[in-house]
Chain A
């Protein structure tokens, strides 16, 4: 299947700082990317959908000013957690799809964020 890569795999940051997570599609051009977060022992929760070159569409209850998503190219989307707080600590996962892959969605490895 297609390869989606996230970076960093894990990050620790101080409260009040911002942290950026990158999501890259390595062998295909991703017209659509999705961002999820997952707390321990829970399922994945969709945060937002981003289409290349346009603004992200956020799910209800997700603060767009806190979770900034940029999808500037067909192979890269970034999630920036601004003014991070300990409750933002979570597993963040991106996924990507393209019509050329039959619109199947492939996931990255995930990024662990710990805010101290």
Chain B
């Protein structure tokens, strides 16, 4: 019962920006948008998360639309090592509370970075 929709696969040329879209039209006011990626046979790796403002870190940028119904993860300069399955997940996040929301994974987007 994932609450997000992502394209099943995307290609990107090495060195170019990879823009991964995600729809979350039923997102609630207290739910954050999280992005993880999973490289084959490894545990998922946290990338970034946000509530309503755009966010940037050393790995990626997250652009959330004003109505919060969709977002885009941007890998500014994709490398071959960025080939992975990227998961967009919405999750209630209660700071300072032990009642931590679960991460429910959908099918994600398989990003293939090509030379």
Contacts and interface: CB of A to CB of B under 8 A. Distances in A.
Given A103-B95, A105-B46, A110-B43, A97 B100 contact: yes
B95 A46 contact: no
Given A31-B98, A99-B97, A105 B103 contact: yes
Q: Identify whether the interface residues of A are mostly helix, strand, loop, or mixed.
A: strand
A36 B43 CA distance: 10
Interface in B35-70: 36, 38, 41-46, 49
B102 A49 contact: yes
Interface stretch (B12-20, B21-29, B73-81, B104-112): B104-112
A95 B103 contact: yes
A36 to B, nearest CB: 8
B99 to A, nearest CB: 9
B93 interface: yes
Q: Identify whether the interface residues of B are mostly helix, strand, loop, or mixed.
A: loop
B115 interface: no
Contact of A99 (B36, B46, B87, B98): B98
A34 B102 contact: yes
Nearest to B97: A99
Interface of A: 1, 4, 6, 31-32, 34, 36, 43-46, 49, 51, 91, 93, 95, 97, 99, 102-110, 112
Interface of B: 34, 36, 38, 41-46, 49, 87, 93-98, 100-108
